[in-house]
A = this chain, B = another copy of it.
């Protein structure tokens, strides 16, 4: 027998409340989304962190954003090696199937994955170096980013810079996917890099000309 348990009553109650209000009020729209299929305007790649919900920040309607969330909002490079790549599968589906018009990479402050990466790269987290550490192998993607910012002496500034490197790494890796690069060149897709200061609610956007993050 599987190890599946009943849902706690408080969550059941909240679901029933949602069904009686939000769902009931939107039923025609939700049903149409079900019948006609989703047609989201954008794909969002953000972190699993419980303090960053893009649906809240952008007041997202049902049907608006196709959302992939992983540790530290990282996009790996294009690797068509016949192996399993969850993030790449999500991007492929969004671009080639759903034909979304935007890809938004949303980083954030106080990111635990980025903190782990910094500890690992500075030799303070040997457990993340082990081959069987999934977090360590995932955060390896950000090692080049760490090399670029490790000279910053102020710890808070260095951490923030590394969080922004995670966003830039994803922007750069996105362009290694031929179907993304083609769509960007054809102006069928636009790419955006954001970083959210969760303490003050500030949102900064990557400005390519200035090569810097600027508060909105």
Contact = CB atoms under 8 A, between A and B. Distances in A.
Given A9-B22, A21-B13, A208-B4, A134 B59 contact: no
| Interface secondary structure of A, over-half rule | mixed
A83 to B, nearest CB: 6
A154 B181 CA distance: 34
Interface stretch (A95-103, A144-152, A155-163): A95-103
Contact of A83 (B65, B83, B168): B83
Contacts of A86: 70-71, 74, 76, 85-87, 138
Contacts of A26: 8, 101
A89 B191 contact: no
Contacts of A137: 82-85, 89
B85 A28 contact: no
Nearest to A174: B3
Interface string A50-64: 110101111111111
A107 interface: no
A10 B59 contact: yes
A27 B215 CA distance: 18
B25 A5 contact: yes
Copy tally for this chain in the complex stands at: 4
A37 interface: yes
A6 to B, nearest CB: 6
Contact of A14 (B17, B192, B199, B208): B17
B39 A39 contact: yes
A194 interface: yes
Contact of A4 (B15, B41, B101, B193): B193
Contacts of A21: 6, 9, 13, 16-17, 20
Contact of A59 (B17, B57, B68, B82): B17
Contacts of A139: 89
Contacts of A28: 101-102, 183, 187-190
Contacts of A10: 59-62
Q: Which 7 A-B pairs have the closest CB atoms?
A: A17-B17, A28-B101, A80-B132, A82-B131, A20-B20, A29-B101, A23-B201
